[in-house]
C-alpha cells in the first residue's frame, strides 16, 4: 500500500508545474513597435529572474483594458504583482484594485500627479513604485546639444529657438518644456522665441512650423516634443525651402529606425529615447520587492535615463538596435539578473539605462563598440 501511495505522490509531483518564481502581469495598451519592445525587454528580464510573466494586450481599446483588469481582479491569487502604464487615464482603476486585493503594483511609462491619487506608498501601500522617463533631463541634454551644434555651424549668429510641443497640459509636454526652458533661458547667446502647442501629431506640427517660420524667419533651432512633431517640422522646412541640419537644426524624440536614419542623414541633429527598457526595469523592481529586497532607500519614483543619439554614436546604436529588431531573441543573451539587487546583494544602485544594456549586448555578441 505504501508503495502505491509513494508512486501516486511522485506522479502528482511530476505533473506539478516546475515554476517556483513569482507571477507577474504586464498590461500593455497596444502591440505597436514601441510596446512590442517593452514586452521584449520585459520577457528578457523575466526569463533571467525566474519570473512567470503574462502579457495583456488591450489593442488600443480602453474598455478592453478595463475588462482585462476585471478578469485579473476576479482571480486575486493568480498574480503576485501587476505592471501597467496610465493608458487613457486607467491607472486609477488599477491602483484601486491593487489596494483592495493587496497586490503590489508598479506604474510605468506615464505617471500620475500627486494631487490625483497621491504617490507610491502614500496612501496606497500596494503602489510600490513609479517608473517614468526622465523627460526634463533628456530635454536639457537635447537643448544643450542643439545650441552647441548651432554655434559650430555659425558662431557669430544669434541662436534663435522656437519650440513645437504637444498638448500643453500633458505631463511629458510639461516636463520636456521645463528642460528646454532651463537650458535656453540660462545660456548666453540663446533666446527662446516662443513655444507652440499641438496634438503631438505631424499635421499640426507642420502648420505651427509654417507659421513660426513666417513670424521668426531668423530662427535657426526648432525644438521638437516627439517623433511625430519632428516629421511635421521637417516637412514644413522642406516646403519653405529651408534645409534641416544646415539652415535650421531640429531634434527628434524617439529611438526607432526612422529617427536613427534621420540623424545619420544629417536632417536631425540629435534624438533621445529608448525608454521601452522600462519593461525590464519594472520586472526587476517587482522581482526584488517580492524577493524581500525593498528599494525604498533608492526612492519610489524612478526616472529612466533616455539614450542621447547624435552623429557621433548613431552608427553604433543603429548596428545594435538593428540587430535586436531583426533578431529579437538575441536580447535573451543579456543577463538581466545582474541589474537586480536581490540577486546581487553588493549592488548598491540601480542603473536603469538603455546605454548599459547596449554595452552588455555588444560584449555578449562580440560587437565592436562605436562612439558614445
As to burial, measured by CB atoms within 10 angstroms (0-12 exposed, 13-18 middle, 19+ buried), residue 367 is middle
**For the chain, percent helix, then strand, then coil, each to nearest 5?**
50, 15, 35
Do 189 and 80 fall into the same domain?
no
Cell of 106: 508598479
Whether residue 121 sits in one domain with residue 25: yes
Specify the CATH number for the domain of residue 213: 3.40.50.2300
- Which pLDDT score, from 0 to 100, does residue 189 have? 93
Q: Tell me whether residue 303 is in a domain.
A: yes
More confident residue, 155 or 33: 33
For the chain, give the percent of residues with pLDDT over 70. 92
Residue where one domain finishes, among candidates 273, 297, 315: 273
- Do 219 and 120 reside in the same domain of the chain? no
Residues 209 and 311 placed together within one structural domain of the fold: no
Report pLDDT for 70.
97
The answer on 172 and 186 residing in a single domain is yes
Are 261 and 161 members of one domain? yes
Q: Are 301 and 130 contacting, i.e. CB atoms less than 8 angstroms apart?
A: yes
pLDDT tens per residue, range 108-145: 998 776 556 679 999 999 999 999 999 999 999 999 99
pLDDT-derived band at 343, boundaries 50, 70, 90: very high
Encode pLDDT of 316-327 as tens digits: 999 999 999 999
Binning pLDDT at 50, 70 and 90, where does residue 247 land? very high
Q: Which of 225, 254, 273 is the last residue of a domain?
A: 273
Same domain, 279 and 303: yes
Q: Which of 238, 273, 308 is the last residue of a domain?
A: 273
Same domain as 38, residue 125: yes
Residue pair 80/23 in contact (Cβ under 8 Å)? The answer is yes
Res. 371: pLDDT tops 50 = no
On whether both 72 and 106 belong to a single domain, the answer is yes
- What would the pLDDT profile of 48-96 be if each residue is shown by its tens digit? 999 999 999 999 899 999 999 999 999 878 999 999 999 888 999 999 9
In a domain, 109, yes or no: yes
Which segments within the chain are labelled E, that is strand? Answer: 23-28, 52-57, 81-84, 105-108, 127-133, 159-165, 190-197, 221-224, 249-250, 271-273, 301-304, 307-309
Provide the pLDDT for residue 113: 62
Query: Could you tell me if residue 9 is inside a domain?
Result: no
Cell numbers standing for residue 260: 536613427
Mean pLDDT over 247-267 rounds to: 95
User: Within a domain: residue 4?
Assistant: no
Residue 366: what pLDDT?
86
Q: Is residue 14 part of a domain?
A: no
Range of the domain at 221: 136-273
pLDDT reported for residue 116: 64
Instruction: For residues 204 and 305, state if they share a domain.
Output: no
- Domain membership of residue 372 (yes or no) is no
86 and 151 together in one domain: no
- 1's CB contacts (< 8 A; 6+ apart) are none
Residue 202 has pLDDT above 80, yes or no: yes
Residue 182 lies in a domain: yes
**Of 11 and 168, more confident:** 168
The whole-number average pLDDT for the span 343-364 is: 93
Three-state DSSP string of 87-154: HHHCHHHHHHHHHHHCCCEEEECCCCCHHHHCECCECCCCEEEEEEECHHHHHHHHHHHHHHHHHHHC
**Domain count for the chain:** 2
Q: Is residue 84 part of a domain?
A: yes
Mean pLDDT of 259-279: 96
pLDDT band at 7 (very low <50, low <70, confident <90, very high): very low
What is the distance, to the nearest Å, from the Cα of residue 361 to the centroid of all Cα atoms in its chain? Answer: 18
| pLDDT score for 171 | 81
Does residue 25 register a pLDDT over 60? Answer: yes
Q: Do both 56 and 115 map to the same domain?
A: yes
Kindly report the backbone phi and psi dihedral angles of residue 245, in degrees, each rounded to the nearest multiple of 5, phi listed first: 95, -15
Mean pLDDT over each residue of the chain, to the nearest integer: 91
Amino acid at each position: 500500500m505504501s508503495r502505491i501511495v509513494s508512486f501516486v505522490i511522485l506522479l502528482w509531483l511530476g505533473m506539478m508545474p516546475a515554476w517556483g518564481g513569482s507571477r507577474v502581469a504586464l498590461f500593455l495598451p497596444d502591440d505597436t513597435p514601441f510596446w512590442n519592445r517593452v514586452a521584449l525587454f520585459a520577457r528578457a528580464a523575466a526569463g533571467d529572474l525566474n519570473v512567470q510573466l503574462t502579457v495583456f494586450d488591450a489593442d488600443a481599446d480602453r474598455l478592453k483594458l478595463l475588462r482585462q483588469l476585471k478578469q485579473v481582479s476576479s482571480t486575486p491569487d493568480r498574480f503576485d504583482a501587476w505592471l501597467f502604464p496610465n493608458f487613457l487615464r486607467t491607472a486609477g482603476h488599477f491602483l484601486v484594485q491593487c489596494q483592495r486585493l493587496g497586490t503590489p503594483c508598479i506604474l510605468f511609462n506615464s505617471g500620475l500627479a500627486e494631487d490625483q491619487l497621491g504617490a507610491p506608498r502614500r496612501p496606497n501601500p500596494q503602489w510600490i513604485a513609479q517608473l517614468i522617463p526622465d523627460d526634463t533631463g533628456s530635454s536639457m541634454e537635447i537643448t544643450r546639444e542643439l545650441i552647441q551644434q548651432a554655434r559650430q555651424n555659425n558662431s557669430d549668429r544669434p541662436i534663435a529657438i522656437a519650440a513645437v510641443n504637444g498638448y500643453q497640459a500633458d505631463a511629458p509636454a510639461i516636463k520636456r518644456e521645463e528642460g528646454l526652458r532651463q537650458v535656453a533661458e540660462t545660456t548666453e547667446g540663446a533666446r527662446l522665441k516662443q513655444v507652440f502647442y499641438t496634438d503631438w501629431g505631424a499635421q499640426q506640427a507642420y502648420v505651427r512650423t509654417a507659421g513660426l517660420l513666417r513670424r521668426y524667419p531668423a530662427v535657426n533651432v526648432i525644438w521638437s516634443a516627439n517623433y511625430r512633431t519632428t516629421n511635421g517640422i521637417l516637412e514644413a522646412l522642406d516646403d519653405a525651402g529651408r534645409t534641416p541640419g544646415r539652415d535650421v537644426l531640429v531634434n527628434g524624440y524617439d529611438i526607432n529606425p526612422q529617427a536613427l536614419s534621420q540623424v545619420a542623414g544629417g536632417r536631425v541633429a540629435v534624438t533621445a529615447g529608448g525608454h521601452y527598457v522600462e519593461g525590464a526595469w519594472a520586472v526587476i523592481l517587482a522581482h526584488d520587492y517580492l524577493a524581500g529586497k525593498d528599494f525604498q532607500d533608492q526612492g519610489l519614483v524612478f526616472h529612466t535615463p533616455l539614450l542621447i543619439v547624435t552623429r557621433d554614436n548613431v552608427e553604433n546604436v543603429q548596428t545594435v538596435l538593428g540587430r535586436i529588431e531583426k533578431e529579437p531573441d538575441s536580447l535573451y543573451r543579456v543577463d538581466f539578473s545582474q541589474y537586480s539587487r536581490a540577486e546581487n546583494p553588493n549592488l548598491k544602485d540601480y542603473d536603469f539605462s538603455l546605454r548599459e544594456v547596449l554595452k552588455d549586448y555588444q560584449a555578449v555578441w562580440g560587437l565592436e563598440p562605436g562612439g558614445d
